[in-house]
Amino acid sequence: MKKDFVIANDQGVHARPATMLVKRANRFKSTITLTHEDQTVDLKSIMGLMSLGIRRGSLITIETKGEDEIEAMEALSRSITEFNLQ
């Protein structure tokens, strides 16, 4: 399943929220990727995520595939919503 998000946090996806997203993604068995500006990385990799340089206003797409894909998407959606409100 795929879902788009707009990053509203003033600081974009910096180290703290990136670490939180990666930790949350690693709780699931599904394959989880994040796409930003035609670059796709494994969301279970902090180096991959940080390499994207995601800033405020950026559109990202998260895709989950696997046995717990629905739960993974719900958890990541909550994390991004919380992060955007900070």
Residues with a catalytic annotation lie at 14
DSSP per-residue string spanning the chain:
-EEEEE--STT-S-HHHHHHHHHHHTTSSSEEEEEETTEEEETT-HHHHHTT---TT-EEEEEEESTTHHHHHHHHHHHHHHHHT-
